[in-house]
Every structure is written in structure tokens, then in C-alpha cells.
Amino acid sequence: MLYLKLAWRNIWRNRKRTWITASSIGFAVFFAVFMQSMQLGSYQRMIDNSVRFYTGHLAIHQAAYWEEKLLDNGFEQSKVESLILDSETIDVAVPRLTSFALASYKDKTKGALINGVDPILEARLTYLDNKLTAGSYMSGNGVLVAKGLAEYLKISVGDTLIFVSQGYHGVNAAGKYPVEGILKFPVPELNQSAVYLPLPLAQEFFGAEGIITSYSLLMNEPDEITEVQSSLAGFAKENDLEVMNWEEMMPELLQGIEMDYYGGLIMIYILYAVIGFGILGTFLMMTKERTYEFGILVSIGMKKLKIQFMVALEILMLTFFGVLLGLVASFPLTFYFFNNPIEFTGDAAKAYENFGYEAIIPFSLDPVIFYSQGVVILIISLFLGIYPMLAIQHLKIIKALKE
């Protein structure tokens, strides 16, 4: 208690310096938290979008499908209909028939990603019904077209689109479908090419009755992916299918995230280095200006170990105070942006979309972001605290008393 009291009073001996040091630590924490919250929020969003629109957390395919994404590598839907899934683990399981076709309207033609889906289940997975900007959701005979594609083809609700493709086992696939609605997607790639239609209609178009290309599973707890994947392995093998998780299906997404994450980390480390020098400066001053006092304390009988303990407490308190300042300042702001993500409009939005990114910056409130910064700063302070500890250890009383 004595040392705690002494340490507390000592850090407030020089109020201005304490505030400056704590503020610099607080700024580092604030900046790091804000940046990491933005990074992790974006990653979570990217993963969530990709998982929902492309792969699911887990997907069941014909064994050869992922190597060669051909319609001919689809499988009979009836194979997975017998699969009993634990509703506590699996939120929703969605059948999809996905392939490409040429979409034409008047003199315009463009490649389109045709998705045959179950309208109800798909809405649960991708909230497709919420992406409608015009028209109505799938009723049975029409298609939903992504906004970018619709703009390119200059079509609107009520117009008729013509699709031409190669169907299942090489049959010719051609058909005309009324546009029932226009969808706006957060993922630019989808926005330029996606077409959705009911699964039976897609199967009919491709001449692939009863065939799907994937059965996507969305987990309630993404932590259980590996466990569920293992439990489905036996079933998949028996039916000549394979179960893949999203990381296996989209390694480039994971690599992109990792590269960006480490890039951000380098920035934060540079910031920590700058702040670290500031903290070291304070520790140097704290030690230098108190050399005489330490000399007196040792003279009257206080052991160096006890002085070191007292100074270590001062360092801890100062750091804790700074970290607290940073967290208190950063939490409300990240909380605000978590609920109100930054959305770009106009040219900025287009620039983002041209790079294949959603024009929005979401934030994360993952507790790890907050306490990891505190721990990092604490480790830096403790590391820098070695200097005053050594200075006290090597203190010469007579020299100190002459300071």
C-alpha cells in the first residue's frame, strides 16, 4: 500500500508531464483502435458478403466441381435432400445452380452469372429480397437482374431478356425471360453480372432437371465450421461429393485480407515506435531528475529493489492511465461508426467499386481490438521500463547525492 500511495503521488508530481505522456499513449491507443476497428469491420463485411453471395461457410459440390466449375460437374439435388442438418448448428442450407450465359437486350449483349435459387431460402441467406430497387421479388417466371447489368443492357422491369448458353451435357440453352426486378448488390462484381431466377426455371433453361451445382450452408457459429465439415465428410464421400469451407474456396480473399492486415499492422507499429520514443523520453526524465532522490532513499535504508518496485508501479499506473484515456476516447467513436458505417457516394463510391470494393467502411466492436492495444502498449512500457530499473540497479549513492 505504501508503494502504491508513493507511486500514485509521484506520477502527479509533474502534472503537465503526466498528462502529456498519458495523452500520447492515449492517442496511440485511440488511433490503433480506430484503425483496427475499421480494418476488421471491413474484413468481416467482405467475408460475410462473400460467404453469403458466393460460397456459404461450407458448400457441398460434386467432387470435381471446384476444380472445373462446369455445369456438367453438377449433382442431383436429391442426394442432399436426405441430409439431416442440425438446425442449432446450421442456420440455412441453400441449393444453387450457377453457370454463365450471354444476356441480350436489343443490340446489347453481356456475359451474366445465372443463379438458379430457391427464392425463400436464398432470401434467408443473402437477404436478396432486400436488394430490390425496382419491381418485385421472384414469383415464378421472371428474373431479377443486377443493377449494373441492367444499366449496361438498358433494361428495366417488364422488359424481356434473352439468354443464350450451353446447357447440361452440351445441350443448347436459350430462353427469354421477363425482368421482374432490379437488384443492387454491395459487391461490385455481382452488381455487374448477376441474374437470379427460381431454381426450376434455371434447371429448365440449362436442361438440367434436378441438378444443382452447390449446396451452401450458413453456420450459426462460424467457429464450428471445421467440426461440421468433418462430420459431413463421410456423407460426402459416400455420394461422390466434397465439402469445402469458405477459406478453401476463396483463398485469394483470405490472402488479400492478410496482406492488408499486415500492411495496417506496419502502420500501427510505426506509430507505436514514435510513441515509444516519447514514453522513453519521459522515463529518462523521470529517472534523471530523481537520481538525487533515489540516492537519498538508498542512503536512509530503502533497498534498490523496493525503489524499483515503486518506479515500476509508477510506469504501470501512467501507462494504464494513458491506455484508459485512449479507450475512453475511441470507444464512443467506433461505437458510433459501428452503427453508422461510413458510406461513400458519387465519385468516391465509383472509385471504390472500380477497385472491386463495396463503397462502405464498416467498423468492428470486437473486444480483442480494445484489449489487444492496451496489452501492446503495456508491453512496450514495461520493455522501456527496463531502463529506469537498470539505472536504479546501477545507482552509485555518492554520485547520486552529488547530482
Partner 1 sequence: MNVIEATQLVKTYNPDTIPVHAVNNVSLDIKKGEFTAIVGPSGSGKTTLLNMIGGLDTPTEGKVIVDGVEIDNLNQSELTDFRMHNIGFVFQSYNLIPVMTARENIEFIMLLQKIDKNARESRSEELMEKMGISETSKRRPSELSGGQQQRVAVARALASKPKFILADEPTANLDSQSTNSLLDIMAKMNEEENVTFVFSTHDQRVIDKAKRVITIVDGKVESDETK
Residues in contact with partner 1 by CB under 8 A are: 2, 6, 9-10, 13, 293, 296-304, 306, 397-398, 401
Cell of 267: 502502420
Q: Residue 298 CB, nearest distance to partner 1 (Å)?
A: 6
Nearer to partner 1 by C-beta: 69 or 306? 306
Q: Residue 5 CB, nearest distance to partner 1 (Å)?
A: 9
Q: Rounded to a whole number, what is the distance in angstroms from the first to the last CA of the chain?
A: 29
- Distance between CA 264 and CA 269 in Å, rounded? 9
Nearer to partner 1 by C-beta: 110 or 304? 304
- Distance between CA 74 and CA 77 in Å, rounded? 9
- Distance between CA 88 and CA 104 in Å, rounded? 44
DSSP tag of 117: E
Nearer to partner 1 by C-beta: 276 or 388? 388
Nearer to partner 1 by C-beta: 10 or 287? 10
Q: Residue 312 CB, nearest distance to partner 1 (Å)?
A: 17
Q: Residue 306 CB, nearest distance to partner 1 (Å)?
A: 8
Nearer to partner 1 by C-beta: 9 or 106? 9
The helix, strand and coil proportions of the chain, stated in percent and rounded to the nearest 5, come to 60, 20, 20
Q: Residue 322 CB, nearest distance to partner 1 (Å)?
A: 20
Q: Residue 394 CB, nearest distance to partner 1 (Å)?
A: 11
For 35, 61, 283, 317, 381, the CA distances from 21, given in Å and listed in that order, are: 21, 58, 10, 12, 11
Range 199-204 contact pairs with CB under 8 angstroms and sequence separation of 24 or more: 199/95, 199/96, 199/97, 199/116, 199/117, 199/118, 200/116, 201/116, 201/140, 201/141, 201/143, 201/177, 202/97, 202/114, 202/115, 202/116, 202/117, 203/97, 203/116, 204/175
Nearer to partner 1 by C-beta: 121 or 297? 297
